[in-house]
Structure 1
Amino acid sequence: MSSNTHKALLQSKKVVSTRAQHLLTPVAMSVILGSQALYSGVAMAETAAYTANAIVITAPELDEPSRTSVNLSETAAVESATDGAAVLKQIPGFSSVGNGGVNGDPTFRGMFGSRLIILTDGAQMLGACPNRMDNPTSYINPTAYDTVEIVKGPQTVLWGPGNSAATVRFERKEEDFSEKSSRFEASAMVGSNNRFDRSLEGAVGNSKGYVRVEANKAESDDYEDGNGDEVASSWEKWNTNVALGITPDEDTLLELELGRGDGFAEYAGRSMDGTQFLRETAALRFEKKNMSQNWSKIEAQLNYGYADHIMDNSTFRDGSMSMQVDRRTTSGRVASTFDWDTKSLVAGLDAKQELHRSESVEDYSQEQVGVFSELTLFMENDDRVVSGLRLDHISATDETTTNTTAGDTRADTLVSGFSRFERDLTSMPATSYIGLGYTERFPDYWEMKPGLNTIDSGDAFSDINPEKTLQLDAGLNYKRDNLSWWVSGYVGLVKDYIIFGYEASTVMGTTTMKGKSGNIDAHIAGAETGARYLVTPNWSTNASLAYAWGKDLDSDAPLPQISPLEAKLGLTHENEDWTTSAVLRMVAAQNRIAEDMGNAVGYDFGESAGFTMMDINTEYRYTENVKFRAGIDNLTDKAYAEHLNKAGNSGFGYASDEAFNQAGRIIWAGVNVNF
């Protein structure tokens, strides 16, 4: 395809149906004005009896007190989410490095990149862009998944190495055709800036197997900020998936799933835009339960992911730069669960191989093989001790022919483990836990890619050390009658923390900040807490608070790219047909910065101001099978910028130390039909 044809095609895609925009105002306002309440936010509860359609951060179950779970299919507040990062931002402790209108890069407790393991149905989809323009969550369509589960800190070893910040799993529920032979769901949403989403999903099956098909497409034009200024941020995404499942008996599942998607995105915070995000995936999953008296389950899967990414500054701008990169990732995992009266064991192995290319030429490869086990001991008085250990061998090769490390391979054998004590308190209806975790993380592609220099002028591929995190996590979950609350905190020491230093670089007349990686030692600490109180059977209040802190021990300076203190207050009203909720989000100023220091995507270029904003959403359940949703994001049309925003690109008139603003008021409305 010629560059002119490619440009014309993508520009034509930006023209979204004006019919959708015309429908927006009457539909959205009629639903919102017909609602019966004003207020809610992020609700924290062990069940969702009265807030089934607000964001519900599940207080962890008694046997897994370190896990947070969010029901996506019953959460109106994420209806307008554009990708996985937009969903995670709703959860206390998560933030996102903003690029424009889509594809923010998630952080948790100030930790970024491969410190966060992001999985979809157990598989990891890695992007190809050297600057993470297509990070893993950019390929996640939230409407395709039912739940997202988070294990904070290095408190599990089951899902891969290096999860010093958290393990995040987007999951679908199992197909169930015990009562009917088919299901179908269709949804559509329109919104400000010509936002238009549509999705179809259906499955047919019986006790012996099923076929599931889904397709979705979403798009939006550039948004206006709270000052009425247009920000380059248009985007489009589409995805298709098909799955064939075989269930010869109620204990056995064999599933093959194939997927494909693509899109484009304009980036106010980058020197180039993403004009192709081609995704191709395949997964073969097997699960067998009740193998024997004590062998409860065996599960295995093979995964394939391919990202083919094109970026340029000529499709939507008047530049001449272009680059195509791709990455193939193949992985596998097998695990068995064994249960006895007083203990439970999960043990297995996993492996991953990835190959990165630039302009169809191989430049980087990596291989990983790991073994893991997690043991739960059930003691007297319902106390539990959960411990895990994993061992990984990881190697990386510089596949280039011109770098100083061309053809070199480096390898490490890394250890991770944790031990956690859990207790159900008898003095009050609460569960407490305290756990000590240790993980060694191999530098990822973005931190050691061939040709990247270190801060002290070394070669990143050969000189960057693995990161070693020792962290103490503790928490308490309480629920009695109409009140539930939880708190979780952590303190850690990170040896060889991987950090980036940035300096100005001019390429073809365009000045950008170029990063170099390095190792330091660091202290980290912080906490998240939340509460929910059921005032009446129909009204509930809720609140959350999250704070993260980090210190560079080498320079005695703050760690960069740490999100500021953030609080949310809310009120929810629900009756038989309506649920209306809103959240007041209050973000403090961030004065603890390390100028020109950061990570593979962003850096601190200045202190940030605090701000307050409000979102509101409502759902009307017209029938058991039809529901309408609507909302207003940024109700007061606040002009604001997140602290973790990338600096606006000079091509749009931004200074190198000036952040572009987030979107102003966004009105959206949608309908969902299922049967």
Structure 2
Amino acid sequence: MKQFFVAGYARPANTARPQLIARRPLLALAPLTIAVAFANHALAQEVALSNAIVVSAPQMEAPVITRVNLQETPVLQSATDGATVLEQIPGFSAIGNGGTNGDPTFRGMFGSRLAILTSGAQMAGACPNRMDNPSAYISPYSYDEVEIIKGPQTVLWGPGASAATVRFERAKEDFSEQDYRLNASALVGSNNRFDRHIDGVLGNEKGYLRLDANDSRADDYDDGNGEVVPSEWDKWNTSAAVGWTPDEDTLLELEVGRGDGESKYAGRSMDGTKFLRETAALRFEKQNLGENWRKLEAQFNYGYADHIMDNFTLREPPMMPMAMELDRRTRSGRVASTWDWSDYSWILGVDAKEEEHRRGLNMAKTMTDYTSEQAGLFSELTWFMNDTQQLVSGLRFDRVSATDELMTTATAGQERSDNLVSGFMRLETDLSSMPATTYVGLGYVERFPDYWELKPSNASLSGDVNAFAGVQPEKTAQIDLGINYQVEDLSWWLSGYAGVVNDYILFDYSNGTQVGNVDGYIAGAEAGARYQLSDNWSSNGSIAYAWGENRDSNEALPQIAPLEAKLGLTYEQQAWAVNSVVRLVAKQDRVALDQGNVVGYDFAESSSFATFDINGEYRLNRVVTLRAGIDNLFDRTYSEHLNKAGSSAFGYAADTAFNEPGRTVWASVNASF
């Protein structure tokens, strides 16, 4: 059975070939028509095995790293954004708002503790309440693979990622057999869901041109009781890239992208009516520069997010209509060089980022309220100690500063800056007594407070004039350990962690919005297994648990998802396969009432629930693949613990969680040639 992750025992992959422009009118092309038109061309070709893929228990073949193929996993075909992709992976959850744009968490950690990159770049949103969090701008259709590096076990991709580093990447284009590739797909489903996607590449050994465009929309969904939950969305993305490859060791690429959309939020007093995103990236890579100098890579990125939220466009206008427009401009760059010797591999690099955030009330002219700068130096060394062991270590230094540019605050014009250090060391061992790899790593991260934690409008829990003056950098020391076992019919893995967090940044809503620091403990584990029962049947399962405690109050840390398990069963035969998944979620009674983060807080304990999903695929021929699924097959009524309480504007009582979707049916067709 084909694995759905690409495992490498050595360093994480670096650059990936990207996406490219296409005007929105391209979306009028009907992928269904394309699929049918090319179907007969391939009918005479041999139909390959379906290679059904499930994500109930994604395996960690490489220590600390999990990779998931986004194109070959049926359950991910109905994902709406980056958060819904990550939720399928053990340890991840998301704070829900409605139908889309949930805010992901990993092991109970939220926000900038979780670095999310697309093609090597980070782009934060503009909303002061994270309506447009980084994963909201990610279209799963536009990427081939997501890589997760758990814990503070890398320093290559920016500062502060104490929980994990998540990288959405494109696969490298291959022109060895043909000089073009074209993919087209369409998905329809409950609640008038309709997605369209088309991407294509034309090129040869000297260069290429890539176009990508997608559109996704849906109406409000019904919960298991048949009650309507405000959740409609409509969004689109386009991108284009041109690459020059004068030889097999050189790449120079320019990529540009643009997208927009709107979304109704059951859990907010306002909706997002504009999510304009504009990006540009220039990438350079040169390999095999000398006997030991393996690679030089450089990347320069530009990102612009323009966001409007209001309470009258997507809902019944209230007596007092309100709107706010905000934007964020981000410029960043990274240069890294890799050297290889017989026993060592060394990566050395620098990165930098500057951001400007602006805001305006009731569509007034926006004004700058926040700026920040970051510059970092990083190094990562792998020592191949012998045939069965390697030691990986990393160290980075950062200088970070932020300025309160809003002249109406107590800290107007003031600048904050800190020198931060992060590092890790990890031992990886192939066991001689069994077909398994173990790892144990110790990491330390200092994280500068982000824009949402430093907002001067928030009060300070420490008694300072506001949060901008009072919130201190967060410091996490964590041990990660695990084992990965694999034989022909059986594979299983286990990863665990325990950490001490000093100056953990906490939001308290018991008396307005206050932000400050507490000290905490964190711990937890994830595990997964897969067993090939027969030639056609395989089973899989996973379990994840996260725990946190406030050392100052001896109470739970807030906004931590409960114990969760998934059990899956797959049947595959020649060109088709069926996957079924039971999701079991325990109640969460470890809560910290009125405490949380900028998006959500604990307002009640949550109940346990179980859901059952089923999906499958049929490979009609080498070109066309049909997929379909039913999520929440038994139409259960349930709500997630990480739930932004329903908005009173939609009739929800105070501190009442809104429910998740009831039975949802979807079907898709994909043509690839």
Q: TM-score, normalised by structure 2?
A: 0.91
**Distance (Å, rounded) in 2 between the aligned partners of 1:331 and 1:450:** 25
Aligned to 1:45: none
CA contact (8 A) 1:50 1:537 kept: no
CA contact (8 A) 2:50 2:575 kept: no
Q: 2:192 aligns with which of 186, 191, 194?
A: 194
Q: Is the partner of 1:591 in helix, strand or coil?
A: coil
Aligned to 2:416: 410
Q: What does 1:115-514 correspond to in 2, within 5 Å?
A: 115-315=113-313, 316-319=315-318, 320-359=321-360, 360-458=366-464, 459-503=466-510, 514=512
Q: Which runs of 5+ in 2 are unaligned?
A: 1-27, 33-48, 361-365
Amino acid at match of 2:54: A
Q: What does 1:592-631 correspond to in 2, within 5 Å?
A: 592-631=590-629
**Distance (Å, rounded) in 2 between the aligned partners of 1:515 and 1:606:** 18
Which string of whole-angstrom CA distances, capped at 9 and with x for unpartnered residues, describes residues 407-465 of structure 1? 10010000000000110000000000000000000000000023221134431111100
Shift of 1:537: 1.5
Q: What does 1:530-549 correspond to in 2, within 5 Å?
A: 530-549=528-547
**Distance (Å, rounded) in 2 between the aligned partners of 1:84 and 1:551:** 28
Which string of whole-angstrom CA distances, capped at 9 and with x for unpartnered residues, describes residues 381-408 of structure 1? 4211000000000000001111111010
Aligned to 1:36: none
Shift of 1:361: 0.2
Amino acid at match of 1:80: S
Shift of 1:548: 0.2
Which string of whole-angstrom CA distances, capped at 9 and with x for unpartnered residues, describes residues 100-131 of structure 1? 00000000000000000000000111100000
Aligned to 1:588: 586
**Distance (Å, rounded) in 1 between the aligned partners of 2:291 and 2:486:** 35
Q: What does 1:51-70 correspond to in 2, within 5 Å?
A: 51-55=51-55, 58-61=58-61, 64-70=62-68
Aligned to 1:507: none
**Distance (Å, rounded) in 2 between the aligned partners of 1:415 and 1:668:** 47
Q: Is the partner of 2:438 in helix, strand or coil?
A: strand
Shift of 1:57: 5.5
Q: Is the partner of 2:526 in helix, strand or coil?
A: strand
**Distance (Å, rounded) in 2 between the aligned partners of 1:670 and 1:399:** 48
Structure 1 residues 51 and 606: alpha-carbon distance in aligned structure 2, compared to 1, 3 A threshold = farther
Aligned to 1:38: none
Shift of 1:65: 1.0
Aligned to 1:511: none
Amino acid at match of 2:163: A
CA contact (8 A) 2:485 2:492 kept: yes
**Distance (Å, rounded) in 2 between the aligned partners of 1:194 and 1:125:** 30
Which string of whole-angstrom CA distances, capped at 9 and with x for unpartnered residues, describes residues 186-226 of structure 1? 10000000000001101101110000001110100000000
CA contact (8 A) 2:522 2:547 kept: yes
Q: What does 1:78-89 correspond to in 2, within 5 Å?
A: 78-89=76-87
CA contact (8 A) 1:53 1:619 kept: no
Moved over 2 A (4+): 49-61, 455-458
Shift of 1:51: 4.9
Aligned to 1:9: none
**Alignment RMSD (CA, Å):** 1.8
**Distance (Å, rounded) in 1 between the aligned partners of 2:438 and 2:513:** 42
Shift of 1:56: 7.2
**Distance (Å, rounded) in 2 between the aligned partners of 1:456 and 1:639:** 41
Q: Is the partner of 1:79 in helix, strand or coil?
A: helix
**Distance (Å, rounded) in 2 between the aligned partners of 1:107 and 1:177:** 38
Q: Is the partner of 1:380 in helix, strand or coil?
A: coil
Which string of whole-angstrom CA distances, capped at 9 and with x for unpartnered residues, describes residues 144-187 of structure 1? 10000000000000000001000000000111212111111110
CA contact (8 A) 2:57 2:541 kept: no
CA contact (8 A) 2:56 2:581 kept: no
CA contact (8 A) 1:51 1:572 kept: no
CA contact (8 A) 2:57 2:529 kept: no
**Distance (Å, rounded) in 1 between the aligned partners of 2:102 and 2:184:** 27
CA contact (8 A) 1:455 1:518 kept: yes
**Distance (Å, rounded) in 2 between the aligned partners of 1:51 and 1:165:** 32
Shift of 1:285: 0.6
Q: Which runs of 5+ in 1 are unaligned?
A: 1-16, 24-48, 505-513
CA contact (8 A) 1:57 1:68 kept: no
**Distance (Å, rounded) in 1 between the aligned partners of 2:632 and 2:513:** 33
**Distance (Å, rounded) in 2 between the aligned partners of 1:380 and 1:50:** 39
**Distance (Å, rounded) in 2 between the aligned partners of 1:603 and 1:311:** 21
CA contact (8 A) 1:484 1:531 kept: yes
Q: TM-score, normalised by structure 1?
A: 0.91
Shift of 1:54: 2.3
CA contact (8 A) 1:57 1:69 kept: no
CA contact (8 A) 1:148 1:170 kept: yes
Q: Is the partner of 2:75 in helix, strand or coil?
A: helix
Matched, 1:75 2:82: no
